[in-house]
Each structure stands twice: as C-alpha cells, then as structure tokens.
Chains A and B, each alone.
Chain A
Amino acid sequence: MIKVVDLHKSFGKLEVLKGITTMIKQGEVVAIIGPSGSGKSTFLRCLNLLEEPTSGKIWIGDQEITNPKTNIMKVRQNVGMVFQHFHLFPHMTVLENLTYAPMKVKGMTKVDAEAKGLELLQKVGLAEKANEYPNRLSGGQKQRVAIARALAMSPDVMLFDEPTSALDPEMVKEVLEVMKSLAHTGMTMAIVTHEMGFAREVADRVLFLDGGQLVEDAPPSEFFSAPKSKRAQEFLEKML
C-alpha cells in the first residue's frame, strides 16, 4: 500500500530524515514513535507530500508520488490526514467541514455529501453537533470531527500526526476510541503518537525513529517487551 525507499529530508542544513526505507501493507495499523526531533512527524508529512522529500521514493498504492508527473492533488484525495491541532475550517459548520471537499473536490452532490457526512458524524458520536461551528466544540470533539472530515473523502489510507497531543487528558480517550474502531474496519493507518498504551493495543507494527533513522520495526508485543536497540530501550524507560 505504502512503500518508502531511502527517504531523505533536509531543512536547510539540518538533515531530519536520513534514509528511511519501509512498507505499510493494506489494512495495517502502524504506530510511529520516537523522541521529539526524531523526524517522525516529518516522515508522516512526506507521505502526502506536505513536506517535499529531498530525495528518495514513495509509493502510495501503485503511484509513485515522488515522481513530479504524478498528480499529487489526486493522490491526496485518497490519503486522509488528521493533525495535532485539528485545523477545522472555522468559518464552516461541522457538517460543512465534512461536505466541503467531497462536493468541491470530488464533485459529490450536496445530498449525497450531507448524507455521508451525517453518517460519519453519527459514527464519531457527534451527529447533534452538525450545525455548530467548530469554535463551540471541545478539543476532543474537534478532533473527532477532523477524523470524520478526512473519512468523508473515503480515503484508502489515514495519516494521524499526534492526534491526541493537543488534547486535555480527559479527552484523549474519546479520540483514541474513534481511532480504534476505525482500525477495526481494516483502514490502513499510520499514526505518529506518544500514546504507548494505544500503540501497544491497536498497532500491528511499531516503527521507532530516532535521529532521522528507522531504528526498529517490530510488532508491539516485541518492541515494548524486548526492544533490541539501546536507543529504544532508553526511550521506553523514559516513557513508561
């Protein structure tokens, strides 16, 4: 589903990603963890080219998105993204946030888009907020709307960039629950997270990044109980 080969990314002189090669299979849930500054968010943001890789290749499905000839706008329609700070459109209602892209980008009719939007709001437990503006929602509600907004495009892959890091502790659970049920539907997911318990429970694989390198790639049962590298051991000691 996603294939990454020797991905490098530099910001000026700072090399953030130093050659990452990995694969994410269809339906797989991958947790990307690592200390801050390890390049995990940058890695995720390269997967839909919000960051332009300095070198290396990335495939989404059978499309090489790092090929300049690829229409990235088209690819992005199938790659949903959820941000740490939600980034809902504040001048649109919750439902309009969900229907905007399906209507304006995919050409869905208003009736269909609204039906789909309401169905998704139901799934994230926010149907009654359809006509509210985002500013009236709590952080956890905003993030659930943001997930629904990404799902409204019927993506094949969902990217999550620290989806619970900006939330008050009591709201983390409601968002993780939504993500968990999404994982059970067989959605391909790449999640940058600090929620070790969640990674352990939901992820099929853990990618541990440190210093711009992929240091470990293992199932959570292995990674959390017997990390191989010293860096992962140190990191887990601090986290758990």
Chain B
Amino acid sequence: MGFGVNLNFSQIIPSIPFILQGVGVTLKIVVFAALLGFVFGVILALCKIGRIKVLTWLADAYTSVFRGTPLVLQLMIIYFGLPQLIGFEIEAFPAAVIAFGLNSAAYISEIIRAGILAVDKGQREAAMALGVPYKRMMRDIILPQALKNILPALMNEFITLTKESAVVTVIGAMDIMRRAYIVGGQKYAYFEPLLIAGLIYYILVIILTLLGKAVEGRMRKSD
C-alpha cells in the first residue's frame, strides 16, 4: 500500500476524557511542588545572602547537588530508593511533589538570591535607619521589590516545572503523559494520544504565561 499518513484521531476521541483526567494530577503535582519549591527556595536564598557561614555553605552545596544531577534520578531515588532506608513505601504523588519541589527550590533560590541582591542597598539602609527589624525589612521592603524584578524568571521556572512534571510517568503517577501512553498502548497507536498530550501541556503553559503577565501588570502599578 506504500507510504501514507495513517493518523486516525476518531479512534482516540473516546479516550480523550481519560487523558484529560490527568490534567488534575499534573496540576496538583505542579502546584504543590511549586509552593514547596518557592518557600524552600526563599529560605535557601536567605541562607545564601545571610551572614551565617555554615548556612551559606549548606545552601550552596544543596543547590550544587540538585542542579548537578538529573531530575529523573532525584525522582527515582525518592520513590524507589528512599523506602529502602526509611522502611515504608512512598506514594507516587508525594514522591513527585517532594522531588520536583526540592529540585525547583535549588533553581528558585538562585533566582531569588539574584533578585534580592539587585534591590538597591539604599532600601536596606532606609529600612535600617527607621529601626525596621531584619525579618520585617526582608518581608515588607526587600522581597516584594525583588519578586517584582524576578517574576519573569520565576514564571519561566514554573513553566519548566509544568513540562518537566511529565517525568513522573516513570514512577507510575497517572498524569497527562502516563495516560496518553496507556491509551497509545491500548489502541496500538501512540502518535495521536501523544499529540493530544502535547496540546494539553502547551495550553497549560500558555495559561500560565498569561497568568504571569497579569500578575506582572498588577505589580507594575507603582511604576
């Protein structure tokens, strides 16, 4: 019959709701991992710019390790490896959140550190001169200004996180990717479900991008 394009989306249509159910799984992992990554990333960044040498060293070492090894390895170590040490199984969902969160924190801490250092040091001095304690100064004066500057970089990190979350498929979490793969196996046709998965990821990323732009616009009101 020769060479011909042989795509048949109609056989996949009944499976689309099944794939779409993965959106919830993916989003849940991404949202929790992003929160964990952000909070931990802020803490790491504060350690890096702080005066306590041991904390600076620990935070730098942490970043170095988590940036220097593959994410899929970190995920597999937590899901498959860790139970060997702690003696009980970890579900796929928490394992994914922990792995992505810890990994993301390393990147986010560098973004935030740079953001904090980019805030004019006069801001710090003005706050100090008013008697504002360090914690308050960071929370109310420095971090809000830093966040505004690094928002595009943070959005970038969250977008990466959303896409990279597809590697949870290796530990069997039922995310978009895994579902597409399963449908492919059932129908002996991988191209169509994978294409649909790709479209879903792309739409998620576009939504995230728009969300980021909206937040950025709101933060720019003081300009």
Contacts and interface: CB of A to CB of B under 8 A. Distances in A.
Given A87-B122, A87-B123, A104-B136, A80 B129 contact: yes
Contact of B131 (A76, A89, A90, A133): A76
Contacts of B122: 83, 85, 87
A87 B140 contact: no
Contact of A104 (B129, B140, B221): B140
Given A76-B131, A101-B130, A153-B131, A91 B222 contact: yes
B125 A105 contact: no
A104 B125 CA distance: 17
Contacts, number: 65
Given A87-B122, A89-B123, A100-B140, A50 B148 contact: no
A101 B223 contact: no
Contacts of B120: 87
B128 A76 contact: yes
Interface size on A, as a range, is 20 to 34
Nearest to B123: A87
Nearest to B144: A91
B126 interface: yes
Interface residues of B, number: 20
B222 A90 contact: yes
A50 B122 CA distance: 11
B145 A105 contact: no
A73 B126 CA distance: 12
A92 B132 CA distance: 15
A74 B131 contact: yes
A91 B119 CA distance: 12
A81 interface: yes
Nearest to A102: B130
Contacts of A101: 130-132
A50 B125 contact: yes
B155 interface: no
Nearest to B141: A89
A150 B222 CA distance: 21
B15 to A, nearest CB: 49
A229 interface: no
A143 to B, nearest CB: 13
Contacts of A87: 120, 122-123, 125-126
Contact of B223 (A77, A79, A81, A135): A135
B126 A90 contact: no
B145 A153 contact: no
Contact of B148 (A76, A80, A91, A153): A91
Interface in A118-143: 133-135
Contacts of B144: 91
Task: Output the residue of B128, B141, B144, B222 with the most chain A CB within 10 A.
Answer: B222
A48 B132 CA distance: 13
B9 to A, nearest CB: 50
Contact of B129 (A48, A88, A91): A48
Contacts of A149: 130
A105 B130 contact: yes
B133 interface: yes
Interface string B144-164: 110010000000000000000
Task: Output the residue of B130, B133, B144 with the most chain A CB within 10 A.
Answer: B130
A50 B128 contact: yes
Nearest to A135: B223
Contacts of B222: 90-92, 133-135
B126 A77 contact: no
Nearest to B122: A87
A100 B123 CA distance: 13
A175 to B, nearest CB: 17
Given A73-B131, A105-B132, 11 more contacts: A50-B129, A76-B129, A76-B130, A87-B125, A90-B222, A92-B222, A100-B132, A101-B131, A104-B140, A133-B221, A134-B222
Interface of B: 120, 122-123, 125-126, 128-133, 136, 140-141, 144-145, 148, 221-223
Interface of A: 48, 50, 73-77, 79-81, 83, 85, 87-92, 100-101, 104-105, 133-135, 149-150, 153
10 contacts: A76-B129, A81-B126, A83-B122, A87-B122, A90-B145, A105-B131, A134-B222, A135-B222, A135-B223, A153-B131
